[in-house]
Amino acid sequence: MNIKLVLLSTLLSLNLFSSSSFTGSSMSEYASNLNTKEYDWYYESRNNGEPPLSPKETRDIISKYPVYYLGNTDKKVIYLTFDEGYENGYTERILDILKKHKVPAAFFVVEPYIKSNPEIVKRMEAEGHLVCNHSAHHPSMASVLDLEKFKIELQEVEKVYKEVTGKDIAKFFRPPMGKYSELSLKYTTDLGYKTIFWSFAYRDWIPEEQPSHDFAMNKIVNKTHNGAIILLHAVSKTNAEILDQLITKWKADGYEIKSLEEL
């Protein structure tokens, strides 16, 4: 047997150093023992305003890693997040409303978004919001088995964000399309990120098929729960138009909107 692999196995079993210290092929050799099956994120809704449950088939897997789809469920707290695959003309309006209500949000951006909208990204950062990583090219991260290619997906976003803002990007990662595997969660963790899924989302991402204001308000408000990580898409005209009313309603119902940094 390869002596290096024997030594590596021994050190791991003794927990003498963390897997985050692995680089290159050694990390890939270690992680190759992990499950590469691709899963789609979903949540199991419950009645009476109770927080939803995580997927039963991966509950044991996600418990091993810093994976969040809920925050503090003991308090009336909401964590508001937006996915930014491209700009559809509504983000500045969203930022105006967040500023009016003095609430934080997290924006998960891809590399082309930062390059195409540097002034909006700088505004997000300047107004106290988290700008977070959504990958460079929006692939299924479960399909990216090679560690170096996986790192590039995150590091290209980090690089461009720092060039635009002079700051380091917040270390929260939302897997594109909610696709993940045990291996992808391991890689994400070892690159210093927390994985952020969601406990509420709805069909809001198709510009040509926007829900009505009443439908969207009822859907979101009725599914709001303690510790909710809310996923909204910023390309949605409806979301931009109801956000002021929605935040007002949340506050009237006793909810506080907090930063992902408080998870």
Catalytic residues: 83, 233
Q: What's the burial of 84, exposed, middle or buried (CB within 10 Å: 0-12/13-18/19+)?
A: buried
E strand spans, the chain: 39-40, 67-68, 77-84, 106-109, 130-133, 170-173, 179-180, 194-196, 228-233, 256-258
29-48 burial, b at 16+ Cβ within 10 Å, e below that, comes to ebbeebeeeebebebeeeee
Torsion 25-27-29-35 (CA) sign: negative
Angle CA(162)–CA(129)–CA(166) in degrees, nearest 5? 15
Q: Amino acid identity of 101?
A: H
Sign of the alpha-carbon torsion through 8, 28, 83, 229: negative
213-245 core/surface letters (b: 16 or more CB in 10 A; e: else): eeebbeebeebbbbbbbbbbbbbbebbbbbbbe
